[in-house]
């Protein structure tokens, strides 16, 4: 890659979405995701052993330094001891698949609790679920396979760390490493699934494959539901910064807050790495667009070149602003959160967890962006710590510099 090509990857971008739907959550988007999906996911996931809402911190000292009223930070690093919000989605998708298969095979209604308790183990062990992942989603799918007693095969790309591979294998998954990037691992995953009659459990949706990504997104909305409860006696956020890979997480959170608080006019800002900007490229083109990733970002969970179809439908209509950020600030922000700013708590934040904060700081350092986002000393910003130290060795290497 020559110097000119390298230079283009260092530039952050911003795109204001003039197609933003300012009204109530549209009925047609409820076909992609709605409160009904959230309610069904809540009934199941809140019964899992070890379930409890993750913490929502107020980072008032950091907010004061940045020049806004408050920062709410949802810390997903402790979720089910899996280290990320992904624990809510992939595992739920696996259990829904097993439930659907058993219902068809046995011609009767099957409860997921009976599946988790091993009552159908002789049947579930013959099924195989597969996925492609940068790490966190695969760990959740492996966890779900472990809960349900089915087999699990996971495809990872060349840049996924050994630590993240081992975390998946600890749940009994067979992990296959593929040359190339995430999108190549997904392509091979789909080919192998079709050839072997395995079930794909992916948070990436595409034509002909939307059922299980919808379940997965429904799982993600649980953390939005938790935030709504945690803010009962506090002011709602005025701005929500949402980091995005394929967009499933961002769309799930957006859909929940949009449907519940449409009259509040909360601004939604989508944040991507400059090295994997498939959503901002889609926004600029006004159609779902694939970006060919040439270089991997250190924010591994966001290194995705093709948007999720279901997610894009929601993000296209609900997003106010799309942004990209470079990797430059990530290590310093991880160390800052680990130390805690003045009276703020110490937080173990993985690489993807600081992307929203990096975008917020970039906005505040640009007067034009501040005006476009109407960000001021009365603003309350919601950020998501989507992962903790999902690879402890990488985390320690970054923090201890």
Return the active site residues: 86, 134
Q: What are phi and psi of 131, to 5 degrees?
A: -160, 165
Instruction: Give CA–CA dist 14/198, Å, rounded.
Output: 40
Instruction: Give CA–CA dist 67/195, Å, rounded.
Output: 55
- Burial class of residue 143, CB neighbours in 10 A (0-12, 13-18, 19+): buried
Residue whose token pair is 């760990």: 139
CB 140 within 8 Å of CB 87: yes
* Crossing angle of the two packed helices 162-169 and 392-399, in degrees rounded to 10: 150
Cα-based distances in Å from 332 to 9, 192, 401: 20, 40, 10
Q: Which residues pair with 74 in a beta bridge?
A: 56, 384
CB 276 within 8 Å of CB 307: no
């Amino acid at each position: 890659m020559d110097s000119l090509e390298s230079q283009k990857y260092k530039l952050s971008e911003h795109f204001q979405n003039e197609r933003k739907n300012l009204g109530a959550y549209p009925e047609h988007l409820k076909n992609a995701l709605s409160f009904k999906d959230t309610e069904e996911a809540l009934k199941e996931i809140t019964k899992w052993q070890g379930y409890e809402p993750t913490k929502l911190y107020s980072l008032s000292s950091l907010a004061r330094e940045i020049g806004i009223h408050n920062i709410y930070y949802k810390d997903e690093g402790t979720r089910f001891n899996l280290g990320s919000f992904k624990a809510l989605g992939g595992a739920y998708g696996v259990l829904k698949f097993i439930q659907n298969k058993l219902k068809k095979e046995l011609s009767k209604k099957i409860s997921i609790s009976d599946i988790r308790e091993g009552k159908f183990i002789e049947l579930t062990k013959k099924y195989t679920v597969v996925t492609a992942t940068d790490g966190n989603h695969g760990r959740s799918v492996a966890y779900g396979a472990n809960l349900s007693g089915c087999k699990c095969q996971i495809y990872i790309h060349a840049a996924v760390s050994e630590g993240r591979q081992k975390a998946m294998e600890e749940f009994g998954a067979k992990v296959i490493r593929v040359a190339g990037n995430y999108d190549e691992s997904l392509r091979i995953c789909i080919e192998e699934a079709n050839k072997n009659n395995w079930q794909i459990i992916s948070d990436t949706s595409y034509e002909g494959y939307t059922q299980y990504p919808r379940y997965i997104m429904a799982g993600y909305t649980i953390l939005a539901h938790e935030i709504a409860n945690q803010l009962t006696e506090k002011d709602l956020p005025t701005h929500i910064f949402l980091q995005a890979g394929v967009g499933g997480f961002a769309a799930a959170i957006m859909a929940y807050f949009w449907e519940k608080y449409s009259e509040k006019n909360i601004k939604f800002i989508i944040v991507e790495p400059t090295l994997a900007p498939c959503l901002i490229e889609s926004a600029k083109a006004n159609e779902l667009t694939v970006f060919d990733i040439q270089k991997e970002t250190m924010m591994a969970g966001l290194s995705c070149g093709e948007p999720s179809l279901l997610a894009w439908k929601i993000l296209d209509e609900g997003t106010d602003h799309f942004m990209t950020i470079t990797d430059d600030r990530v290590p310093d922000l991880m160390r800052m959160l680990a130390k805690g700013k003045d009276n703020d708590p110490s937080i173990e934040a993985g690489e993807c967890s600081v992307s929203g904060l990096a975008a917020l700081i970039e906005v505040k350092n640009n007067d034009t962006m501040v005006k476009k986002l109407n960000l001021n000393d009365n603003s309350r910003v919601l950020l998501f710590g989507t992962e903790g130290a999902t690879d402890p060795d990488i985390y320690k290497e970054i923090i201890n510099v």
